[in-house]
Amino acid sequence: MTAYRELRQRFDRHYLLRSSADQLDWDAQAMMPEGSGDLRGAQLGTLRVLAHEAIAGEDMEELLASAEASPPSDEWERDNLVAMRRSWVHAAAVPADLVEARSRATSSCELAWRTARKNDDFASLLPKLTEVVNLTRQVGQAKGSRMKLSVYDALADEYEPGAREASLQPLFARLERELPPLVDAILAAQARAGEAPELVGPFKVERQAALGRHLAERMGFDFTRGRLDVSVHPFCGGAAEDVRMTTRYDEADFLSSVLGVIHESGHALYEMGLPRAWTRQPVGAVPGMGLHESQSLLMEMQASRTPEFLGYLAGAAAQYLDVSPSMLHLDALSRHALRVERSFIRVEADEATYPLHIIVRFNIERALLSGDLAVKDLPSAFRDAMERIVGVRPETDRDGCLQDVHWPTGAFGYFPSYTIGAIAASQLFAAAVAARPSILSELSRGDFTGLRTYAHDNVHQHGGRFDTNTILERATGRGLDPDALLRHLRRRYLNDTAGS
């Protein structure tokens, strides 16, 4: 057996085990009773260790070197070999006992977070979150030592290859400087327009669920290869053959669940559109979570807030929610969907203030990992940062540091992906409409075919062959370009067609 063939078999096993763990993790977040946390933590820990050991064996470096000395002739296979080494570097840096300990700790902490968030009780979460932070710091130290990176850069690199504090800090500094006056201008324009017409509920959950399913199907979500359920925190997970989405419902606000479903469906379409022949190989995976977030935001923030789609949504919502079309006319729906405000909850934030929420978390998680911020001081630090950067001060931890699941699950370094995704989505949507002008008229009929095809041709089908910047350069002519996001916001909210 050639070295490369052996590597393929090991990575096939790795992905099967990892996807099994991901499915159990999905069950834990969406369906599992709270009292089952210890058992599920043990199951997840065992599976993640087995997945880790499949590609972190002592002979892996020798196999990689042998395969690289006589690389495959097929370009996909060669790119797969490059991706194999990258995956191995991350895996081999962390000992199996640390993998298991962190998996058990994050599983237990995620379950505890649900109760703590519900009860606004940070103190009850503190011991478990402290353990997660400590173990995640150890993972970052182990990877950083192997990769010659800082703790934060080593962790962020797992989610967005090449992401570094040195490039993220100036990006966020610019957005922190330029977004607040832009938000002020948008708020002033909204104030001049007066109050938005009220969308009167209640909107029954079962009707919202039917509307969400309808929209997911219109987008191209294949319910024979996935499902939609309910959880505390909306998310998408699983694998191409078994994609799991969740949302949450509020009877007073159907837009929250609808846009949540559209967001997660964007993630799901990416997973379902990845090259099937490479499903269980590194080159068949996404190159980074920034690009993954771009696909959800391409659908939710870019396409679904156009006047064309909102016109379609007004009619569909009136039908599925069984309310008068006069209440859900385009103007009312548009002004709610495009409302900008300084608010507490990240996942419900508008696209103009959203990056400010990410800056809060970027700064805090770096301080937690470096030890400059003690976990016990997280609530007050979060409140202070929200007041300084977003412009609002949470009164409760439920609206503050307890609102996100990322830190309880150990996902330190993930948050920058959201802003990378927002910038990339702005670039991709502009390029898509320029390349396929019919996209807007299709959206007015609730038809995502043109946009989905563009996304598949320019992003999905490439799998992990190219990094985020390369995919953006090929699709839009430029690498990651924050001007695209700022230009989009000025055009959409201030009618500034000349803005840059």
Mean pLDDT computed over 411-417: 97
Q: What share of the chain has pLDDT > 90, as a percent?
A: 80
Mean pLDDT score of the chain: 93
Mean pLDDT computed over 196-221: 92
Considering only 38-42, 98-102, 126-130, 146-150, which range has the smallest mean pLDDT?
A: 38-42
In the chain, where are the structural domains located?
A: 3-148, 167-494
Contact of 285 with 463, CB cutoff 8 Å:
yes
* DSSP string for residues in 343-367: -S-GGG--TTTHHHHHHHHHHHHHH
Catalytic residues: 264
Considering only 209-218, 330-339, 441-450, which range has the smallest mean pLDDT?
A: 330-339
Whether 137 shows a pLDDT value over 90: the answer reads yes
Distance from chain centroid for Cα 217: 21
Task: Note the pLDDT of residue 35.
Answer: 64
Task: Note the pLDDT of residue 36.
Answer: 63
State how far the Cα of 382 lies from the Cα of 384, in Å rounded to an integer: 5
Whether 242 shows a pLDDT value over 90: the answer reads no
357 annotated as a binding-site residue: no
Whether 260 shows a pLDDT value over 70: the answer reads yes
Q: Which residues pair with 227 in a beta bridge?
A: 244
263 annotated as a binding-site residue: yes
CATH 3.40.50.720 applies to domain 167-494: no
Whether 41 shows a pLDDT value over 80: the answer reads no
Residue 82 burial by Cβ neighbours in a 10 Å radius (0-12, 13-18, 19+): middle
Considering only 31-40, 157-166, 242-251, 276-285, which range has the smallest mean pLDDT?
A: 31-40
The better pLDDT of the pair 456, 201 is held by: 456
Q: Provide φ and ψ at 247, rounded to 5°.
A: -140, 180
Whether 500 shows a pLDDT value over 50: the answer reads no
Question: What pLDDT band is residue 327 in, cutting at 50, 70 and 90?
Answer: confident
293 annotated as a binding-site residue: yes
Question: What pLDDT band is residue 1 in, cutting at 50, 70 and 90?
Answer: low
The better pLDDT of the pair 456, 19 is held by: 456
Predicted confidence (pLDDT) per residue in 357-400, tens digit: 999 999 999 999 999 999 999 999 999 999 999 999 999 999 99
Question: What pLDDT band is residue 34 in, cutting at 50, 70 and 90?
Answer: low
Whether 404 shows a pLDDT value over 80: the answer reads yes
Contact of 163 with 157, CB cutoff 8 Å:
yes
State how far the Cα of 177 lies from the Cα of 175, in Å rounded to an integer: 5
Whether 40 shows a pLDDT value over 80: the answer reads no
Whether 185 shows a pLDDT value over 50: the answer reads yes
Whether 467 shows a pLDDT value over 60: the answer reads yes
* DSSP three-state, residue 178: helix
- Residue 345 backbone zone (phi > 0: left; psi -120 to 50: alpha; other: beta): beta
Question: What pLDDT band is residue 29 in, cutting at 50, 70 and 90?
Answer: low
Task: Note the pLDDT of residue 332.
Answer: 86
State how far the Cα of 80 lies from the Cα of 464, in Å rounded to an integer: 8
Dig out the tokens for 356 from the structure: 């400010």
* DSSP three-state, residue 247: strand
* DSSP string for residues in 308-329: HHHHHHHHHHHHHHT--TTTT-
Question: What pLDDT band is residue 499 in, cutting at 50, 70 and 90?
Answer: very low
Predicted confidence (pLDDT) per residue in 103-124, tens digit: 999 989 998 999 999 999 999 9
State how far the Cα of 83 lies from the Cα of 89, in Å rounded to an integer: 10
Question: What pLDDT band is residue 283 in, cutting at 50, 70 and 90?
Answer: very high
Q: Are strands 235-239 and 242-247 parallel, antiparallel or unpaired?
A: antiparallel
Considering only 43-57, 125-139, 428-442, which range has the smallest mean pLDDT?
A: 43-57
Mean pLDDT computed over 290-317: 96
- The listed range with the strongest mean pLDDT (10-24, 41-55, 200-214) is 200-214
